[in-house]
Amino acid sequence: MLKETEIKKSNRLDFSNGWSYAPAPESTGHINIREKYGHFINGKFVEPTEGEYFDTVNPATEEKLAEVANGSHADVDAAVKAARQAYNKYWSKMSGRDRGRYIYRIARMIQEKARELAVIESMDGGKPIRESRDVDVPLAAGHFFYYAGWADKLNYAFPGREPRSLGVAGQIIPWNFPLLMAAWKIAPALATGNTIVIKPAETTPLTSMKLAEIIQEADLPHGVVNFVNGAGKTGAAIVDHPDVNKIAFTGSTGVGKIIQKAIAGSGKKLTLELGGKAANIIFEDATIDQAVEGIINGIFFNQGHVCCAGSRLFVQENIADEVRDKLIDRMSTLIVGDPLDKNTDVGAINSKEQLETINRYLEYGVQDGAEIYQTKCALPDKGYWCCPTLVGNVSQSHKLVQEEIFGPVLTIQTFRTPAEALEKANNTPYGLSGGVWTDKGSKIFGMTNGIRAGVLWANTFNKFDPTSPFGGYKESGLGREGGLHGLLPYLEL
Ligand code: ADP
């Protein structure tokens, strides 16, 4: 941990000693988590072949929630065989209309179980219940509804072409939006007639196991969707399996590069959704209060555990002091703590390892003379926490400005002209997302055309919709998920 003297605590509007909201915790009485989860293969929950398990813990309390199987090569092989058989026997032969019916059924069941899914998501991952309840779960259902609609209309999506499914899709997902990432991957693959072997992240497998229960209850033909639990080795076994036709991966750029090398020359199709270092650019003519709220939403809600988080702030020089003051004031009102409390803005950091990574970056900041402001927040004794942090006095070459931190840490820099803002925004290896705040439409078009990023928001941030494609340039990945574009990676035309 950094020493107190190395981090300036904001002493403005200190809500930790003043008035506060009474706790409003979401109940956990209605949730049902098994003690142990194996894999979900060929329509059944099965034990792992090698009998290895690991714990999944609640990052807000450090309590064990369940034991989860660590998948071996043999488990992955069984899942791929089940998926291949289901592809040959049922799924590739079924009409699009019937496939759509199953997908609609999954969507409706997610809605029916929304409360349980949201609570489990917050317990397993540490994100505030407001976010899992209002963002993750409704968007997950939304993706199934949206792609269910495409299942019988693929010929209209690609007029004059003959879309054909690929076969077995191997999918590997991260811990920041566990259920939503599963939906992003599974829904378009099913709609296009592929079968699936998916691996949840090792720290957040529980909503995937709930989704497996939903898929079982929805009575999908056995083997159409298979879940294999495990960590990196299990993921690599999926990537390397010779009978997998397509790999879809969301996670770190480092692992993305390993996967790209591993499948080179194999003929497998690939989509990668990797890291980001989004620029949020505020011009002097922006509505400043609205922009401050957008910046806060872009980096601090969900603990900065978002690959498209607005982690680099660029402010036009003449409004820099005003923006910085307003930002620090607003940061000091953010409520950090129990993810299950409906008032919480910033929940727990997903794991001990991730908290160590964030603290390591803050230490680099201190060593290089950055000015680090953290809000005073009263943190629980147990669990993994990081108070909202603003980092000033940093240059373009600084590690904190160049590298993805994946925590509630925002760097702030200034610019004078739109050209300078563009140059700074594009000066990173990533190109996933970005935001522009201005009153002028022409500036919006100029900037959004100039920023090399796949997703750009104007006068808002972190807004998602199943109909809208998502994906990056440069080291942020390749291919698009979501929208009509999201069908393509699962089809041959
Ligand atoms: P993060 O830093 O977001 O945890 P990772 O890229 O390490 O990102 O993890 C994302 C997903 O990739 C997880 O499900 C993880 O288990 C999996 N994974 C990690 N290493 C590998 C690998 N070498 N091959 C395939 N999957 C991997």
Q: How many angstroms separate the alpha carbon of residue 305 from the centre of ligand 1? A: 15
| Catalytic choice (26, 202, 307, 475) | 307
Domains defined for the chain, CATH in brackets: 36-274+476-492 (3.40.605.10), 279-458 (3.40.309.10)
Which residue CA neighbors atom 19 of ligand 1 most closely? 232
Which residue CA neighbors atom 9 of ligand 1 most closely? 251
Which residue CA neighbors atom 26 of ligand 1 most closely? 235
**Among candidate residues 35, 485, 123, 418, the one with its CA nearest the CA of residue 273:** 485
Q: How many angstroms separate the alpha carbon of residue 35 from the centre of ligand 1? A: 24
Total residues belonging to the chain? 493
What is the chain's Cα-based Rg? 22
Please name the helix (run of DSSP H) or strand (run of DSSP E) that holds residue 441, with its range, or none: helix 441-450
Q: How many angstroms separate the alpha carbon of residue 250 from the centre of ligand 1? A: 8
What predicted TM-score, i.e. pTM, was given to this entire model?
A: 0.95
Which residue CA neighbors atom 27 of ligand 1 most closely? 232
Structure tokens of 318? Answer: 């003449």
| Catalytic choice (121, 131, 273, 404) | 273
DSSP type of residue 166: -
pLDDT of 45: 98
**Among candidate residues 82, 92, 88, 245, the one with its CA nearest the CA of residue 168:** 245
**Quick check: 10 and 331 in contact, CB under 8 A?**
yes
Q: How many angstroms separate the alpha carbon of residue 101 from the centre of ligand 1? A: 32
Q: How many angstroms separate the alpha carbon of residue 235 from the centre of ligand 1? A: 7
Structure tokens of 492? Answer: 């041959």
pLDDT of 385: 97
Which residue CA neighbors atom 13 of ligand 1 most closely? 201
Q: How many angstroms separate the alpha carbon of residue 308 from the centre of ligand 1? A: 17
**Among candidate residues 179, 455, 208, 195, the one with its CA nearest the CA of residue 307:** 455
Q: How many angstroms separate the alpha carbon of residue 234 from the centre of ligand 1? A: 9
Compute the distance between CA of residue 298 and CA of residue 460 in angstroms, rounded to an integer. Answer: 9
Helix (H, G, I), strand (E, B) or coil at 472: coil
Virtual torsion, Cα 398, 400, 401, 407, nearest 10 deg:
180
Tokens 């009998």 identify what position?
51
Task: Check residue 328 and give left, alpha or beta (phi > 0: left; psi -120 to 50: alpha).
Answer: alpha
Which residue CA neighbors atom 17 of ligand 1 most closely? 232
Sort 261 into a burial class: Cβ within 10 Å, 0-12 / 13-18 / 19+. Answer: exposed
Which residue CA neighbors atom 14 of ligand 1 most closely? 201
Pocket of ligand 1, candidates 54, 124, 172: which has the most ligand atoms within 8 Å of its Cβ, to mutate? 172
- Is 273 known to be catalytic? yes
pLDDT of 21: 80
Residues with CB under 6 A from ligand 1: 172-175, 199, 201-202, 231-232, 235-236, 239, 251-252, 255, 258-259
Please name the helix (run of DSSP H) or strand (run of DSSP E) that holds residue 434, with its range, or none: strand 433-437
- Is 307 known to be catalytic? yes
Compute the distance between CA of residue 490 and CA of residue 327 in angstroms, rounded to an integer. Answer: 43
Please name the helix (run of DSSP H) or strand (run of DSSP E) that holds residue 169, with its range, or none: strand 168-172
pLDDT of 302: 86
Per residue, the 3-state secondary structure of 96-149, as one string, reads HHHHHHHHHHHHHHHHHCHHHHHHHHHHHHCCCHHHHHHHHHHHHHHHHHHHHH
**Quick check: 378 and 332 in contact, CB under 8 A?**
no
What are the tens digits of pLDDT across the range 300-343?
998 999 999 999 999 999 999 999 999 999 999 999 999 999 99
Which residue CA neighbors atom 11 of ligand 1 most closely? 174
Q: What is the pLDDT along the chain (493 residues), one digit of tens a residue?
A: 445 546 666 544 444 544 578 889 999 999 999 999 999 999 999 999 998 999 999 999 999 999 999 999 999 999 999 999 999 999 999 999 999 999 999 999 999 999 999 999 999 999 999 999 999 999 999 999 999 999 999 999 999 999 999 999 999 999 999 999 999 999 999 999 999 999 999 999 999 999 999 999 999 999 999 999 999 999 999 999 999 999 999 999 999 999 999 999 999 999 999 999 999 999 999 999 999 999 999 999 989 999 999 999 999 999 999 999 999 999 999 999 999 999 999 999 999 999 999 999 999 999 999 999 998 888 889 999 999 999 999 999 999 999 999 999 999 999 999 999 999 999 999 999 999 999 999 999 999 999 999 999 999 999 999 999 999 999 999 999 999 999 999 999 9
Pocket of ligand 1, candidates 177, 255, 259: which has the most ligand atoms within 8 Å of its Cβ, to mutate? 255
Task: Check residue 459 and give left, alpha or beta (phi > 0: left; psi -120 to 50: alpha).
Answer: left
Compute the distance between CA of residue 483 and CA of residue 467 in angstroms, rounded to an integer. Answer: 4
Q: How many angstroms separate the alpha carbon of residue 284 from the centre of ligand 1? A: 41
